[in-house]
């Protein structure tokens, strides 16, 4: 866990970005590869969260970089380079989704319904009903993950399960949890990039996290009975 | 002050973690948490899950995509 923490602590200094952007404007290949190596994978993953498959995400990545190169002369540094690049990838992924959506009005409808749902995020049968001796309290509380073998909780397999769980979410939620929890963007940044309110980001994030947790709970040994 | 029940607690977890509960709600949330193992565990699981999610950002870009981007860059520079 230590190196992850260290990673998220590393922040690109503004000076460093100014230098990279200036070099890129001059056509410096080393600056280009450095920026791609820093932010290319995040652009790809966020695009993937929008479009839902590897091939389309690769196309979005390519298109996003072409757009970035076309407009790098006008990049003013009002946002960080990372936010700017992710924003371009998001816009391109979205216009691609809109083109596809014309052929699939049904999926848009499903997505809108998923968005509007305000049902509980935890199975109501996990709590005591009105007739219980403590209505609304846990009937089947979550089993402690700290009792699990460390290898199971910190292993590669469980990460694969988290990834699968995120990929299975409705697009609106998937995009938000990807940007907030995986890429580590602040909620306000996610809101700005997606053009939605911070409150909406939190609502989507809440549903997404609860669904991923439920799946993880099932994977890690199931619901106590 | 109305006591929060576990069923309500789980729906406030994200607002709590995001620090967007108002002072009164935060107080009630933390009071419940201190006396409830189930909700304490639920919150701990969400925190663990968020840490796991963050580790999904440790992979690198597929070299095929990287090469394609580099080719596009060289074209653009011409």
Domains of chain B (ranges; CATH) run 6-77 (1.10.10)
Residues of B in contact with A35 (CB under 8 A): none
Give the position of tokens 């576990």: B6
Task: With H, G, I as helix, E, B as strand and everything else as coil, classify residue A225.
Answer: coil
Residues of A in contact with B38 (CB under 8 A): 137-138, 141-142
Question: For a pLDDT cut of 90, what percent of chain A falls above it?
Answer: 72
Give the H or E element holding residue B14: helix B6-18
* pLDDT range class, residue A159, cuts 50, 70, 90: very high
Q: Is A166–B56 a contact, with Cβ atoms under 8 angstroms apart?
A: yes
Give the position of tokens 């970089």: A65
Burial of A72 (0-12, 13-18, 19+ CB in 10 A): middle
pLDDT tens by residue, A82-107:
999 999 999 999 999 888 776 566 66
> DSSP assignment, residue A141?
P
Gyration radius of chain B's alpha carbons: 22
Question: Distance of CA B21 to CAs A101, B9, B15, B18, Å?
Answer: 37, 12, 6, 8
What is the predicted pLDDT for the residue at A189?
96
Residues of A in contact with B76 (CB under 8 A): 66, 69
Q: Is A137–B37 a contact, with Cβ atoms under 8 angstroms apart?
A: no
Q: How close B30 comes to chain A (CA, Å)?
A: 16
What are the residues whose beta carbons fall under 8 Å from the beta carbon of B13, sequence distance 6 or more? A206, A209, A210, B42, B43, B46
Number of Cβ atoms within 10 Å of the Cβ of A57: 23
| Residues constituting chain B | 78
Q: Is A145–B66 a contact, with Cβ atoms under 8 angstroms apart?
A: no
Token code pair at residue A93: 């992924």
Domains of chain A (ranges; CATH) run 2-101 (1.10.1740.10), 109-219 (1.10.10.10)
Predicted ipTM?
Answer: 0.94
What is the predicted pLDDT for the residue at A25?
93
């Amino acid at each position: 866990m230590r190196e992850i923490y260290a990673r998220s602590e590393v922040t690109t200094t503004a000076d460093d970005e100014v230098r990279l952007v200036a070099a890129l404007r001059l056509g410096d290949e080393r600056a280009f590869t450095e920026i791609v190596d820093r932010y290319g994978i995040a652009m790809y993953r966020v695009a993937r969260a929008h479009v839902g498959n590897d091939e389309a995400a690769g196309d979005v990545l390519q298109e996003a970089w072409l757009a970035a190169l076309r407009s790098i002369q006008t990049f003013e540094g009002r946002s960080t380079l990372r936010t700017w690049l992710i924003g371009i990838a998001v816009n391109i992924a979205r216009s691609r989704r809109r083109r596809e959506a014309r052929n699939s009005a049904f999926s848009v409808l499903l997505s809108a319904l998923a968005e509007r749902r305000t049902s509980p995020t935890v199975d109501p049968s996990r709590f005591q009903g009105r007739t219980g001796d403590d209505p609304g309290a846990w009937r089947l509380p979550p089993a402690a993950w700290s009792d699990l073998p460390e290898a199971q909780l910190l292993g590669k397999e469980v990460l694969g399960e988290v990834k699968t769980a995120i990929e299975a979410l409705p697009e609106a939620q998937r995009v938000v949890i990807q940007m907030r929890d995986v890429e580590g963007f602040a909620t306000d940044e996610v809101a700005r990039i997606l053009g939605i309110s911070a409150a909406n980001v939190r609502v989507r994030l809440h549903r997404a996290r609860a669904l991923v947790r439920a799946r993880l709970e099932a994977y890690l040994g199931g619901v106590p009975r | 002050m109305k006591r929060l029940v576990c069923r309500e607690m789980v729906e406030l977890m994200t607002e709590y973690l995001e620090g967007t509960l108002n002072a009164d709600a935060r107080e009630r949330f933390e009071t419940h948490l201190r006396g409830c193992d189930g909700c304490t565990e639920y919150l701990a699981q969400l925190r663990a899950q968020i840490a796991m999610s963050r580790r999904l950002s440790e992979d690198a870009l597929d070299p095929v995509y990287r090469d394609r981007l580099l080719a596009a860059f060289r074209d653009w520079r011409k």
